[in-house]
Structure 1
Amino acid sequence: MNEIRKVPKGAGAEWLLGGIALLRRAPLTLGLLGLIWGGLSALGSLGGQVWLSALMAVAGPILFAGIIYAAREVDRGLPASPRHLLQGVRDGKAPRLLAMLLPQLVAMVVLVILLVAMVGPEQLQRLSTVMIELQTNPDPALVESLPLGALFGWMVAAMVVGVVAGFFTFVAIPEIIFTPRTAFAAMQLSLRACLRNLGALLVMLVLLVIGMIALSLALQLVGALLAFAIGAHASMFAVQLLLMAILLPVLGGAVYLAWRQMVGDAPVTETVAGGFEA
């Protein structure tokens, strides 16, 4: 388990295709897990329930670990179940999984510091004022007065910081849920595995972005059709549920396969190969 395997760049595509293949093998059961998570998140965001949104954000690593666990069950030919969402809690690994929030918190602090350093306090105050004015006076001149260059630079930095923070948790979550490794040891292992297989991760990330754009466009079309039948708010809720029901199981399966191929119990899985052929 300690060995970090070097995988080809094309493995990133295989992970994503493998996640899709796992969802195709159990669309109802895996989709239900994403539906439950997405439903609770949608209730919090669309219903204005701040406490529920905060709870779902904190519980994110636990729930995602459950989806990864369910993906392995499907890969083994076993059924997935909603109870798998809390598998980490039943196994007594909730504190270690909650520690996966630390890289995100550190990233947020770094981004705030970078925002103040790159944009400046005065320009941030100006940005806040302009955003309020744009609600009543959508004047393009107001936007041109903003420090767009500095804001763009900060957005690029935010993407880099976000990706680096993700390196600490990418295979750390499956490592924790499947092994007795501690949280910080798992994060160290995840960082090393990601740096050694940076090419495969970049391929997966690019394909994931392309896939999400295509999926979002398709769901927007579905939402537009549903709006005529059930109304705009209900269609927005339904589209968000569909997005989570598809995206979360695919991501969970892809992360599971990446973990298994880089540091887990097998360098190559039948699911990955089958998904690539499909």
Structure 2
Amino acid sequence: MSTINKVPASAGAEWLLGGFALLRRAPVALGTLAILWGLGSTVLMALAGATGLTVLLYAAQFLLILAGPLFFGAMIWAAREVDQGRPAQPAHLLQPIRDGHGPALLATLLPQVIASFALGLLLLAMIGPDQLKHLGEVWVQMQTVAAEGGQPDPSLVKDLPAGRLLLWLLLVAITFVVIKWMTFIAAPQILFTGTDAIGAMRNSLRACLHNWTAMLVFYLLAGIAIFAITFGSLLLMAILQLITGPVIAVLLWQLVLLAVLTPVLAGAMYTAWRQMMTTAGSAAPSTAPATTHIEV
């Protein structure tokens, strides 16, 4: 039994600040975990690309997609370790698997898979196969013109069903938000309370809906922070290009971004979980002075 806590809109800012605070307490340890993941992913893709086999490249990408929830779950676990005064260690990257939570974390990918198929079929039903083929051709032509530095011809899109495409894009946006809210605090529930994947995603969606103002504040501030960090790090990449060359500079830039943004977002989700969810039999977190409770 869990309780969903009502938090103020300002809690969204607290979640982000909580993520930064956890990173500040253990920047090297948390950053190292993210860098190890980034290096492992880069090596895997490089090895797959070196074979020259497209099927292996797709297989490597598929493995990384599957490993994504496991890695992020490990980062959330490490964030809790830091929060409770214990060190984050590279061994924590395998913690979700050791604890047997791997299948439940992987199950959080199901809404994305189902939504992708459903939206694809919906697009086909809304505009038809002929228009879908025409849309693909227009997209390729526009990319080709853009790559050559030209301006796309407006006549390319005049025959497209703009109204139905806009409606489909609106449905895509709504679905994207729903999926993000279903998984926002699902991983901490799975890792720390043993909740099954379906129950965790249901609780996460209900918590986010109940605290939608805090979610809006969080996404707004997180977007600004990500933009600022990314823009600022471009200056670092420009300096690195002069020293190491463009290829190494881009790799180092990506690793630095990963080492900063991943722990911050994992820490923010952990903080949000502590505030929005109270497990039965435990005291409500001091960081979440709940005013309203909804039993789920």
TM-score (norm 2): 0.83
How far apart are 1:69 and its partner, in Å? 0.6
Aligned counterpart, 1:223 = 237
Please tell me whether the aligned partners of residues 6 and 210 of structure 2 are also in contact (alpha carbons under 8 angstroms).
yes
Query: 5 Å matches for 1:209-220?
Result: 209-220=223-234
Report the residue type matching 1:186 in the other structure: A
Deviates most, 31-40 or 170-179: 31-40
Distance 1:40 1:121, change over 3 A: farther
The equivalent of 1:170 in structure 2 is 184
User: Given the alignment of the two structures, is residue 239 of structure 1 paired with residue 253 of structure 2, yes or no?
Assistant: yes
Q: Cα RMSD over matched residues?
A: 2.3
Query: 2:215 aligned to 197, 201, 205, which one?
Result: 201
In the TM superposition, what is the alpha-carbon distance from 1:15 to its structure 2 partner? 0.2
Q: 1:89 — aligned with what?
A: 97
Q: Match for 1:191 among 190, 201, 205?
A: 205
- Helix, strand or coil at the partner of 1:168: helix
Q: Shift of the alpha carbon at 1:149?
A: 6.1
Q: Which amino acid is the alignment partner of residue 26 of structure 1?
A: A
Task: Give distance in 2, aligned partners of 1:53 and 1:36.
Answer: 17
CA distance in 2, matches of 1:129, 1:39: 37
1:61 counterpart = 2:104: no
Post-superposition offset of 1:234: 1.7
* Preserved CA contact (<8 Å) 1:5 1:267: no
Q: In 2, distance between residues paired with 1:218 and 1:123? A: 42
- Please give the alpha-carbon distance, in whole angstroms, between the structure 2 residues aligned to 1:81 and 1:247: 18
Instruction: Tell me how far apart the structure 2 counterparts of residues 89 and 27 of structure 1 sit (CA, whole Å).
Output: 24
1:133 match:
141
Query: What TM-score do you get using the length of structure 1 for normalisation?
Result: 0.88
The letter of the residue matching 1:25 is R
Q: Which residue of 2 aligns with 1:15?
A: 15
Identity of matched residues, %:
46
Larger radius of gyration: 2
Task: Return the offset for 1:76.
Answer: 0.7
Q: Distance in 1 between matches of 2:173 and 2:102?
A: 28
Superposed, 1:141-180 pairs within 5 Å as 141-142=152-153, 145-146=156-157, 147=160, 151=165, 153-180=167-194
Which residue of the partner structure matches residue 132 of structure 2?
Answer: 124
2:291 alignment partner in structure 1: none
Structure 2 residue aligned with 1:105: 113
Kindly state the Cα deviation for residue 225 of structure 1 after the two structures are TM-superposed.
2.3
| Count of residue correspondences | 270
Residue 292 of structure 2 aligns with which residue? none
Give distance in 1, aligned partners of 2:155 and 2:29: 50
Q: 2:58 maps to which residue?
A: 50
2:63 partner letter: L
Structure 1 104/136 Cα, relative in aligned 2: closer, same or farther at 3 Å? Answer: closer
State the partner residue of 1:30.
30
Contact 2:22 2:267 in 1 (8 A): yes
Measure how far apart 1:53 and its partner are.
2.3
| Cα contact 2:145–2:152 (8 A) shared by 1 | no
Q: Secondary structure at the match of 1:164?
A: helix
Corresponding residue number in structure 2 for 1:273: none
Larger displacement relative to structure 2 (234-243 or 2-11): 234-243
Distance 1:153 1:96, change over 3 A: same
Per-residue deviation, 1:151: 4.8
Residue by residue over 1:53-95, the C-alpha shift from the partner in whole angstroms, topping out at 9 and shown as x without a partner, is 2212101111111100100010011100111121111111111
Aligned equivalent of 1:75? 83
Amino acid at match of 2:119: L
**Secondary structure of the corresponding residue to residue 3 of structure 1:** strand
Structure 1 residues not aligned, in runs of 5+: 271-278
SS in 2 for 1:194: helix
